Structure 1
Amino acid sequence: MNYFLTYTVYVLILSVLMGISTWKLYKKMGYNPLFAFVPFYNYYIIQKETGHPKWWVAMAYLPIVGPIMMTVFHLFLMKHFGKSTFSQRLLTVILPFIYMAFINYSKDPEIETEDELYLTEDEKSEKKKESFAGSITFAVVFATIVHVFMTQPFGIPTGSMERTLLVGDFLFVNKWSYGFRMPMRPVAIPFLQGTIMDTGEKGNPKDDPKSYVEAVKLPYARIFQFSKPEKNDIVVFNYPQDSVHKAIDRKDPYVKRCVAVAGDIIEIKAGRLFVNGKPETILGDQQKQHKFIATTGSQLDIPALYRQYGFLPVQEIQTETGYLYDFQGLTDQTAKEIKELPQVIEIKEHIWPKDSAALSYKVNAA
C-alpha cells in the first residue's frame, strides 16, 4: 500500500509541474488550461494534437520507462509550438519544466502549422531523421519494458554453480516466478543494474557514477506472489551485503540454489552444510566446493590455471619461504589436481574455527 501511495504522490507532483509549465499552451490548443494538470489526460491531448498514437500515453508513468516517454511527449509539444532546433530540443530534454515554462509564459506562443505539400527537401530530410530517431527510441522503450517488467538476462560470472551453471553461461530470469517486485528507483538509465561504469580497482566503488537517481525512491513491494521459492530452486537475488547500493533492486545480482526455506534450520558443521539436522542433498553429478589454502615454494601460473579450470577465485600472498594461495571454491577433485603441481608443498581445506565466521549479521528486534 505504501508503494502505491508514494507512487501516487510522485505522479501528482509531476502533474502539477506539467500544469504550471504548460497551461497557457493548452489554452492555445483550444483546451481548458486545467487539463494540463490532469495525469495521463494532459499527455493524451499532446498525442492527439501532434498526430501520434494515443495509446503511448499508457507508458507515461511507468517506472524507468515513464521518464523516457515524458521526454518524448515534451519534445512533441515543443515542436508543435515551433521549438525544434537542436538547442531547443536539448533544453526540453535536460530542463523540461523550466524550458516549457519559459515558452509557456513568453509573449504569445504560436502553434506551428505544417503542410506536407510545401515542405522543402531539407525539411523532408529532417522529417525522415525524426522518424528514424523515433523508431530507435521506441525500440529502446519496448526493450526496457521487457527488461524491467518481464524477463532479464544474466551472465554467470563465477564458478559457484558449476556442473549446473558454468562460467559464461547466459540465462534469462522470469521476473514473475515469485511475484513481481516493483522497481524501487523509478528514474534510471535502462539496462544498467547499479553503476554506469567502474572507476577501477583503486577507486572506491561507492564513488562510481550510479545508473539511477537515489533521491527518487519507492518502498519495497511485491505483487501477484502466487508461489514462493522451494528447496533446490535456482534463484537470482540481490546480494544483501552490497554496501554500495541502498535500494534492494540495485544491489549486485547473485545466482544460487535454494537449500532451505522458511522454518528450516541451517547449520555449518566442520565446513559442511546441514539442513534440519541432515547433510545437504547433492543432486546428480554435482560436487561440493570448499575453501582451500595452498602453500607453495614458488609462484603458481594463475593464468594457466584459469585457462584450465575457468573461473578460479584466488588470493596470492607472498611469504618469506614462498607463497600462500587462498582458493575460495574448489571441488575435491580440482584441489587434488592442484596439489600435484610441482610448486605445491601443501594444500588443505580451510575451515573456520567454531564460533567464528567469514560473515556476520546483526539481527534487530522488530
Structure 2
Amino acid sequence: MTTFHWLLFFLIIQLIHGLGTWKLYEKAGRKRWEAFVPVYNSIVLMKIINRPTWWTVLLFIPIINLIMFPVIWVETLRSFGKNTTTDTWLGFFSFGLYILYINYTQEVTHISDRSLMARTKTGDTISSLLFAIVVATLVHTYVMQPYTIPTSSLEKSLLIGDFLFVSKFHYGARTPMTAVAAPMVHDTLPIVKTKSYLSWPQLPYFRFPGFQKVQKNDIVVFNWPADTVYKFFDTSGRSVVKPIDKKSNYVKRCQGTPGDSLQIKSGTVYINGAALILPERAKTQYSYFVTYDMNVPIDFEYVLKDIGCTDGAGFKNETRDTLYLRALTSEGANRLKNIPGIKTVSQIVSQEGEPNIFSHSENWNADNFGPIYIPEAGKTVALNLKSLPFYKRIISVYEGNDLKVVGDDIYVNNKKATTYTFQKNYYWMMGDNRNNSEDSRYWGYVPDDHIVGKPVFIWMSWDTNGKGINKIRWERLFTTVGGDGQPQSYFKYFLGLLVLYFIGEYFWKKRKNAK
C-alpha cells in the first residue's frame, strides 16, 4: 500500500469510529464532532475511559497498536457499564464493532469514576501480561533485539551458539513494514510452526535517525534480500514470498558501502583499488590443502586445535598424505607450516567461473570477482545489456520499476532507458569465513531498507560440542562485538554488581523490618 492508500484507509477508520461512537461521546459530556477528528478523538477517548493521554501514542505504533486496540474496545465498553464476560468477548471478536451496536441500540450511562482495578485475579494477570508484552515489543522493535548466530560465516569474530543483543538505534530503528504480525517473533510462530504475520497490508518504509551510518568492516544484521525459503534451515524445498522485514535475518561484515568500487583478487577484498584493512578482531579464514610426511607421527587433533582450526575434514588415511581444512586463518596456516612433518600448506583459490555467482559473469568466482560498483542513492549509471545483470534486481524488485528488454533496448516503466538513477543506498556484505559463507558474492547488494541493526553485545555463548559446564564459553560472556583490541569479558563485573544488589536489598529489608 502506498502512503496515499494508507491515508485513505486511516480516514475511513476515523469515519467508522466517529459514526460508531458519537452518541457515547455525548453521553460522556463531550461534543459529537469530537468523535470524528483524527488523533484528537483518541485523546478525548482516553479521558472518557479514564486512561492516560499518552496511550494515544501507542495506538499509532505498528504492532503495538494490535495489542492496544482490543484493550481500548474493552475499556470503552466498561466505561459505559458493559463489563460482563459476554460484552468483553463480543467487543473482541467483533473487532470493536459491538461498540457501534451499543452506540445506536442501548441506553447506557457513562461511568466517569469507575474503578480501574481488575475485579478478578485473572483480570489482573491479563492486564499485567499485556503491559509486559507492550513494553517488551517496544524494546524489541525500537531499541534492542536478541539474536542467535546460526552459521559459521563469521567464525572467530562470532561463533555458532553466540547469543547477541542487536542495537536498533545505532543505524536508526526501522518501523515495522508488516502491519499485522505477532509481537516478538520473526516469520514463524513457535510450536505451531506457521506464519506469524499477514503479508497484507504493508506500511511504507520509515527509519528513525541513527547515531551512525553503516561503515566498512561493521558487523551488520540484515534481512536476506534473496530469501524465499519457507523456514530457515528448511530442506523441504518449499518457498514463499516474504515482506522485507520478515525475510530471514543474516549477519555478515560490511565490505563495501554506497559509491565504492569493489573487487576480490585471490580472496582479498579491494575497495577503490586498495586492499581493505580489517580490524584486529576480524579473523579472515580460507580453505587449505595440507600435505604431510606419512612417516612422521603428527597428532592432528591437537595441532588443529592449537592453531584454531575447528573445521577440518580429512582425506587422511593409510594411502593418502593430504588434509583438507575448510576454515583456517593465515596466521594459523603460517604456524602449521613450521610443524615437523608438514610439507605444504596451500590456500585454495578458485580460478574457474562459478555459475551461481552474482551477475553470472564469465570466469568470476568467490575468490576472484569484480570490479563492481556499489550503488549510491542519487547516482546515475549507464544502462545497457552488459551492465543490466548487475542492476536488474535493483530496478525491478528493490526499487519497484517495470523492467523490460526488447532486442537490444531496455525499457523502464515503458520508457526506453540508457541510464538509471538509484533511489536507495546499497551495501556489500561478506562473511569472514570466506569459503564457507553464502553472501553478496552469490546474491548481490543489500538495500538500505533491509538493514536491521548492529550487534553490540554477546550475553551468552553455547558450545554444543562442549561437555557439562564447559558447554558455556565463559570467556565470551558479556563481551562486546565491536571495538579495538581483543574481546574482553565483563562477566565478572556483572556478577559483582549482582552480588552488591542482593546484599543491598538484604540490608534494606532488614532495616525496614526493624522499624
Q: Are residues 1:210 and 2:203 paired?
A: no
Deviation for aligned residue 1:290: 4.6
Deviation for aligned residue 1:77: 0.6
State the match for 2:64 in structure 1: 65
State the match for 1:147 in structure 2: 140
Deviation for aligned residue 1:256: 1.2
Q: Superposed, which structure 2 residues align to 1:305-324 within 5 Å?
A: none
Question: Structure 2: how far apart are the matches of 1:107 and 1:94?
Answer: 19
Q: Check conservation: 1:292, 1:330, Cα contact below 8 A.
A: yes
Deviation for aligned residue 1:190: 0.9
Question: Structure 2: how far apart are the matches of 1:190 and 1:285?
Answer: 34
Question: Structure 2: how far apart are the matches of 1:92 and 1:269?
Answer: 64
Unaligned runs of 5+ in 1: 117-123, 200-207, 294-308, 315-325, 338-346
Unaligned runs of 5+ in 2: 229-239, 290-307, 314-323, 337-345, 361-388, 396-419, 421-515
Question: Residues 154 and 115 from structure 1, CA distance in 2 versus in 1: closer, same or farther, beyond 3 angstroms?
Answer: closer
Question: Structure 2: how far apart are the matches of 1:313 and 1:40?
Answer: 62
- Deviation string 1:195-243 (CA, Å, 9 cap, x unpaired) is 22487xxxxxxxx733223222122233325632111111111111112
Determine helix, strand or coil for the equivalent of 1:146.
helix
Question: Structure 1: how far apart are the matches of 2:36 and 2:84?
Answer: 27
Q: Are residues 1:281 and 2:291 paired?
A: no
Question: Structure 2: how far apart are the matches of 1:50 and 1:264?
Answer: 56
Equivalent of 1:264 in 253, 260, 264 = 260
Question: Structure 1: how far apart are the matches of 2:118 and 2:69?
Answer: 25
Determine helix, strand or coil for the equivalent of 1:249.
helix
Q: Are residues 1:172 and 2:169 paired?
A: no
Deviation for aligned residue 1:285: 6.2
State the match for 2:327 in structure 1: 330
Q: Superposed, which structure 2 residues align to 1:186-205 within 5 Å?
A: 186-197=179-190
Question: Structure 2: how far apart are the matches of 1:83 and 1:40?
Answer: 25
Equivalent of 2:244 in 239, 243, 248 = 248
Aligned amino acid, residue 188 of structure 2: T
Deviation for aligned residue 1:312: 7.2
Question: Residues 272 and 79 from structure 1, CA distance in 2 versus in 1: closer, same or farther, beyond 3 angstroms?
Answer: same
Using the aligned pairs only, state the percent identity.
34
Aligned amino acid, residue 149 of structure 1: Y
Q: Superposed, which structure 2 residues align to 1:62-141 within 5 Å?
A: 62-111=61-110, 126-141=119-134
Q: Check conservation: 1:6, 1:218, Cα contact below 8 A.
A: no
Determine helix, strand or coil for the equivalent of 1:133.
helix
Deviates more, 1:184-193 or 1:26-35: 26-35
Question: Residues 115 and 47 from structure 1, CA distance in 2 versus in 1: closer, same or farther, beyond 3 angstroms?
Answer: closer
Question: Structure 1: how far apart are the matches of 2:79 and 2:354?
Answer: 70
Aligned amino acid, residue 10 of structure 2: V
Deviation for aligned residue 1:149: 1.6
Q: Check conservation: 1:147, 1:191, Cα contact below 8 A.
A: yes
Question: Structure 1: how far apart are the matches of 2:186 and 2:140?
Answer: 11
Q: Check conservation: 1:43, 1:73, Cα contact below 8 A.
A: no
Question: Residues 292 and 45 from structure 1, CA distance in 2 versus in 1: closer, same or farther, beyond 3 angstroms?
Answer: farther
Q: Check conservation: 1:159, 1:311, Cα contact below 8 A.
A: no
Question: Structure 2: how far apart are the matches of 1:30 and 1:264?
Answer: 63
Deviation for aligned residue 1:142: 1.4
Question: Residues 356 and 291 from structure 1, CA distance in 2 versus in 1: closer, same or farther, beyond 3 angstroms?
Answer: farther
State the match for 2:150 in structure 1: 157
Deviation for aligned residue 1:191: 0.5
State the match for 1:236 in structure 2: 221
Q: Check conservation: 2:157, 2:281, Cα contact below 8 A.
A: no
Question: Residues 357 and 84 from structure 1, CA distance in 2 versus in 1: closer, same or farther, beyond 3 angstroms?
Answer: same
Q: Check conservation: 2:179, 2:200, Cα contact below 8 A.
A: no
Determine helix, strand or coil for the equivalent of 1:75.
helix
Q: Check conservation: 2:73, 2:96, Cα contact below 8 A.
A: no
Question: Structure 2: how far apart are the matches of 1:359 and 1:349?
Answer: 20
Question: Residues 291 and 22 from structure 1, CA distance in 2 versus in 1: closer, same or farther, beyond 3 angstroms?
Answer: farther
State the match for 1:321 in structure 2: none
Determine helix, strand or coil for the equivalent of 1:172.
strand
Q: Check conservation: 1:22, 1:101, Cα contact below 8 A.
A: yes
CA RMSD of aligned residues (A): 3.9
Question: Structure 1: how far apart are the matches of 2:78 and 2:267?
Answer: 66
Question: Structure 2: how far apart are the matches of 1:23 and 1:94?
Answer: 22
Question: Structure 2: how far apart are the matches of 1:96 and 1:24?
Answer: 19
- Deviation string 1:43-98 (CA, Å, 9 cap, x unpaired) is 33333233332322221111111221222111101122333333432232232233
Determine helix, strand or coil for the equivalent of 2:105.
coil
Q: Check conservation: 1:40, 1:60, Cα contact below 8 A.
A: no
Question: Structure 2: how far apart are the matches of 1:292 and 1:9?
Answer: 60
Question: Structure 1: how far apart are the matches of 2:58 and 2:171?
Answer: 24
How many pairs align? 316
Q: Check conservation: 1:182, 1:222, Cα contact below 8 A.
A: yes
Q: Check conservation: 2:59, 2:69, Cα contact below 8 A.
A: yes
Deviation for aligned residue 1:271: 4.8
Aligned amino acid, residue 34 of structure 2: F
State the match for 1:205 in structure 2: none
Q: Check conservation: 2:157, 2:283, Cα contact below 8 A.
A: no
Aligned amino acid, residue 138 of structure 1: F
Q: Are residues 1:184 and 2:177 paired?
A: yes
Determine helix, strand or coil for the equivalent of 1:96.
coil
Tell me: higher relative CO, structure 1 or 2? Use CA pairs within 8 A at least 6 residues apart: 2
